[in-house]
Amino acid sequence: MILPELLAPIGSFEQLKIAILSGASSVYLSGKKFGARRYAENLTLNEIKEAVKICHLYNVNVYVTVNTLIKEEELLEVTEYLMELYQIGVDAVLVQDIGIIAIINKIFDDFKIHASTQLNIHNNEGIKWAKEHNIQRVVLPRELNFDEVKEITKFAHKLGIEVEIFIHGALCYSYSGNCLFSSYLGGRSGNRGTCAQPCRKKYKILDNNFDYSLSTKDMSLYENLDDLIAIGVDSLKIEGRMRNNEYLAIVVNSYRNGLNKRKKRFLNLKKSKSNNTKKHKNEYNNYKLDKQDLKNIENLQLVFNRKLSSGHLFEKNSKSLLNPKKPGHVGLFIGQIEEITGNDLKIAIKNDIVNIPERGDGLLIEDKSSKNSYGFDISSNPILKESEDIRTLTIKKIAKFYSNQKNNKSNHKSQKFELSNGDNVYITKRLSFSKYLKELLSDKNPKNIKKSKLNIKLTVDKNNYPMLTGEIKLPNGKSIKHVEKSNFQWEIAKNKPLDTVTLGKQLSKLGDLPFILDDLKIVYNNNLFAPISEINKLRRDFLSKLESLIIATYAPNDMSLFKSKKRYDEFIRQHDFIGIDIKQLKDDLSLDILDSKGIQQNITNKYSLSIYINDLDVLKFLTKNSSACKRIYIEIPPKNLVFKNSSIDISYIVNFIKEAVLTAKGQKYELVWKWSDILHEQIKKSFVKAYGILSKLGISIKIMTGLGNYSDLIKDNLGIYGSKSLNIFNQESISILSDFKLLTLSTELSSKDLSNFMFDYYINQKINYNIDLNSDLLNNSKMPIIEAIVGGNIELLKTKINMFNLYFNNSNSKNLINSKKNKTSKIDKRGEKDKIDKNLFLTDSEGNDYFIKQDIAGNNILVSNKELSLLNCIPYLKSLAIHNFALDCRWKSKNYICNLITYYKIVIEDDFLSEKDINLLNDKMVHSLGIETSKGNFFKGVK
């Protein structure tokens, strides 16, 4: 049995020792920039260097997170940072931005890349893409179920790619990398490491009461370790770089105990049943959790948790993933109040509870409504009474009972909390954990670290100079040999010569080093003398040099470093435009991008408008005026509101696209089939199968999708249009996606970000492809077309949690939804009446509505009630030489779409409209459509 790696989170340098001593195989951490947990303490570069030395000495791998999206202006800085990490010898970098993958592949030799869960590689095609781009490990999305993880792991291993999954910690409501909720609300982007967690706030859905509707439970897969080991997952990842030291110590230690127990059980059974493999396997698989397992599971509930679930991996429905009552720490439920006498409490303790409350522990009592609670620390020793089938715990002299809930917003005094029998009791703090942490850090012989075996041989040459020869074998497969010769000459003993016992005693002192002295040989005639201090010095010098050699084995060799530095210098030269006449290039482009008012003159009447829709009737309506737009991206709507399983009606897909292609035949616009951004393997196969059927029928259509959702057949036939889920933030992302015909820019980019991006986009074409920027650009571009979304829906997040399944079912969904007509009437102008009735929405505490939509793959999409409107920013975007604009008009009415297109086409096609005229048009558009609008991140940007 090979145990998977146990990967621990490090939020500060202080936590490094805790993770190592608790049994982590590897750690992941971040520098002060470019990490997805910017509000953690994180590490300086010098601290990362020291962390790498310590970890490698203790046989622990170090992965550094460089997992934010990188702006164009940050490319040089992040590349310099990557070079530092490479030289330090970190074991891998964890990456979200596709551009970072491109940079690493261009510059570095043997620099391992781990694809972050934010890249959303969730099917086999994504794994193939990872292989093609030298990615060594993929962190799978938390949204996959067990069978999907099993299939992908098997496929990945065939290609030599490792698979990592989360096993414990926070569970995001949204697919990582696809959440812009925090970004749009306040400019704090999850893709930039600054998420404000709006999903942990209160909302109400339809007419229900306010609660934490989007707040997910935490995930814990301790009870599923056997399953994960069986399918060969390579790394088990613990989330929690923002959590405290006790959390880190207890969670890592609990999982280390669980993994070691399973390996020990396997080896014991194998030894005792060596002649009966089948019986041995059955006995292993039929193992039941023992008392230590139960204690570990309880311990995981005693450190911070929002209630625990097995996540999407094993849970059968969305409801079991949510905890709408409370977004914070819950603790361990131990029982209920049985009796109240004065200020004394008697608690009926559940029979299966292992952790009995002790003096100094924290308790929380919650009433039956879960709205009021009272927390306190136990100040006296509780009295435990046990009988055959009941256990009670009496706690005396509890202080006055006050609720943790406020009376109202204006009165911050806590109200008197009336305890009653049947109230739930939780342990929320365990005093013994802080004691355990202190003992862990002071332990001179920690049991959880993996020690390397060391062989030492002492010899003395003919001139009486001693020499230590040693060899150590490391878990990374390398073997290190070292010879340390003393410059102190031993002398012939006059009285008492050194004996082998004395020498052995001194040479065996390894201090705190994580070595086991496997063999010590002393070849010596027992006739010499030397001071003990010189023997100790020889040992110390030997071990010190050995340490340095161990650390050096993880760093790149001289040749790799030389080649990488040479490529690095060339990369910096190109991106810093060293030796290039920038002014002349700007003149060639007839564009000064620093002047936001300058309109590019030489490339005119070459602008295009694209429309996103998901309705055949709308397509037919637009076809009557086929010159209205250049491209129509059509997404197939779900056949039913309630998504049952991973199967899709392929005939429905084929017939829908057949009708769409027939409608578009002979028209001036391009018809592009927009696939869902998230396609799990079975659903992706349905899409590919439908595409194949269409091809056999002689029906061809272009595809828009995200990363790894397409097969080679589709790519080779027509090329791919890239959706905004690719999170295009910089030029390097474009360079790695050259097989795409068109790429949609991230809607998180600000006006300044777009300016920097577009300048480099055109300069790269001039430098790398010698394109004449004035005459040849539009026809001879060697890079994908760039398109910006400038109006329509603002997608806030995508989630696998299906609200339609939670609130409606097949038999009564229509009646339930139609009963909300009065609540949806305010959005009549967003869609036709037959579509309005299908709106499910939630409302925040300030009265803002967010509409929940669903795609054909069963993903729910949260859409803002405010429309993105960059109409009066079009002249600026044209000044940047952006020629392709798009409007997201899914779920919108025909008249709405027609009017929106009209306003945008006027501004896009007329270069001579005044700023005043454009602002008047903008005001007229907003009024006539009856919408609330937002500039998104265009002006405020993202942190």
> 385: domain CATH number?
2.40.10
Give the type of residue at 626: S
pLDDT surpassing 60 at residue 842: yes
More confident residue, 202 or 831: 202
Please tell me the distance from the alpha carbon of residue 298 to that of residue 834, in angstroms, as a whole number.
51
Q: Are residues 249 and 375 in the same domain?
A: no
**pLDDT score of 41 more than 80:** yes
pLDDT tens-digit series, residues 623-647 = 987 678 999 999 999 987 666 655 7
Confidence category of residue 751, pLDDT binned at 50, 70, 90: very high
Region 813-826 average pLDDT: 39
Query: Residues 344, 463: one domain?
Result: no
Looking at the domain assignment, is residue 320 inside a domain? no
Q: In the predicted model, is pLDDT for residue 419 greater than 60?
A: yes
Quote the CA–CA distance of 348 and 395 in Å, as a whole number.
Answer: 12
CA angle 544, 546, 547 (to 5 degrees): 65
The per-residue pLDDT for 711 is 67
- Average pLDDT of the segment spanning 97-125: 96
Q: Are residues 106 and 249 in the same domain?
A: yes
Averaged pLDDT for residues 551-561: 93
Give the model's pLDDT for residue 418. 79
Average pLDDT estimate for 680-707? 92
| pLDDT per residue as tens digits for the range 130-184 | 999 999 999 999 999 999 999 999 999 999 999 999 999 999 999 999 999 999 9
Q: What is the CATH number of the domain that holds 47?
A: 3.20.20.380
Residue 134 Ramachandran class (φ > 0 left, ψ -120 to 50 alpha, else beta): left
From residue 72, alpha-carbon distances to 674, 750, 787, 938 in Å are 28, 11, 17, 15
Q: Does residue 724 sit in the same domain as residue 617?
A: yes
Q: Does residue 785 share a domain with residue 743?
A: yes
- Provide mean pLDDT across the span 530-555: 94
Region 285-289: mean pLDDT is 76
User: Do 480 and 374 share a domain, yes or no?
Assistant: no
Strand order in the sheet with 466-473: 479-485, 466-473, 452-460, 515-523
| Cα 750–chain centre separation | 23
Cβ atoms of 349 and 180 within 8 Å: the answer is no
Question: Does residue 33 sit in the same domain as residue 86?
Answer: yes
Which segment of 48-62, 400-414, 487-501 scores lowest on mean pLDDT?
A: 400-414
- pTM assigned to the model: 0.92
On the question of pLDDT at 404 being above 60, the answer is no
pLDDT higher than 80, residue 43? yes
Q: Would you state the pLDDT for residue 268? A: 80
Separation in Å, CA 512 to CA 254, 445, 543: 24, 8, 11
Question: 472: which strand partners?
Answer: 454, 480
Q: What is the pLDDT of residue 837?
A: 38
Share of the chain above pLDDT 70, in %: 86
User: Do 231 and 180 fall within a single domain?
Assistant: yes
* % of the chain beyond a pLDDT of 90: 71
Q: Are residues 74 and 163 in the same domain?
A: yes
Q: Is the pLDDT confidence value at 397 over 80?
A: no
Q: What is the pLDDT of residue 782?
A: 67
Predicted local confidence at residue 831, as pLDDT = 43
Mean pLDDT, all residues of the chain: 87
Q: pLDDT grade, residue 278 (50/70/90)?
A: low
**422 shares a domain with 467:** no
Residue 782 counted as domain residue: yes
pLDDT class for 803, splitting at 50, 70, 90?
A: confident
Q: Is residue 834 part of a domain?
A: no
Same domain, 147 and 204: yes
Tell me if 501 is assigned to some domain.
yes
**Cα–chain center distance at 269:** 38
- 571 located within any domain: no
Tell me the mean pLDDT in the region 203-215.
89
Question: Please, which pLDDT band fits residue 760 given cuts at 50, 70 and 90?
Answer: confident
Tell me whether residue 341 is in a domain. yes
pLDDT at 781 over 80: no
Q: Residue length, the chain?
A: 943
Q: Which two tokens stand for residue 749?
A: 């980019």
Q: Are residues 402 and 438 in the same domain?
A: yes
Phi, then psi, of 886 in degrees rounded to 5:
-140, 150
Q: pLDDT (tens digit, 9 = 90+) per residue, 883-926?
A: 999 999 999 999 999 999 999 999 999 988 999 999 999 999 99
For residue 619, the cross-strand partners are none
For position 277, what pLDDT does the model report? 62
pLDDT recorded at residue 189 = 94
3-state secondary structure 684-739: HHHHHHHHHHHHHCCCCCEEEECCCCCCHHHHHHHCEEECHHHCECCHHHHHHCCC
Which residue has better confidence, 627 or 350?
350
Range of the domain at 509: 452-553
Strands of the sheet containing 860-864, edge to edge, are 203-205, 840-844, 849-854, 860-864, 795-799
Q: Among 32-46, 378-392, 651-665, 808-822, which stretch is predicted with the lowest mean pLDDT?
A: 808-822
Instruction: Name the one residue in this structure whose structure tokens are 């009963």.
Output: 819
What pLDDT is recorded for position 762?
Answer: 80
Look at residue 388 in the predicted model and tell me its pLDDT.
Answer: 78
User: Residues 450-478: pLDDT tens digits?
Assistant: 889 999 999 999 999 999 999 998 876 78
pLDDT tops 80 at residue 832: no
Q: Stretch 425-444: mean pLDDT, rounded?
A: 94
Domain containing 898 — which CATH number? 3.20.20.70
Task: Tell me whether residue 564 is in a domain.
Answer: no
Q: Which of 36-50, 700-714, 832-846 has the highest mean pLDDT?
A: 36-50
Residue 314 predicted with pLDDT over 80:
yes
pLDDT at 110 over 50: yes
The answer to whether position 178 is within a domain reads yes
Q: Who wins on pLDDT, 81 or 648?
A: 81
Q: How many domains does the chain have?
A: 4
What confidence score (pLDDT) does residue 547 get? 93
φ, ψ (nearest 5 deg) of residue 198: -65, -20
Given this model, what pLDDT does residue 812 score?
A: 43
Q: Is 42 left (phi over 0), alpha (psi -120 to 50) or beta?
A: left
Confidence class of residue 587 from pLDDT cuts 50, 70 and 90? low
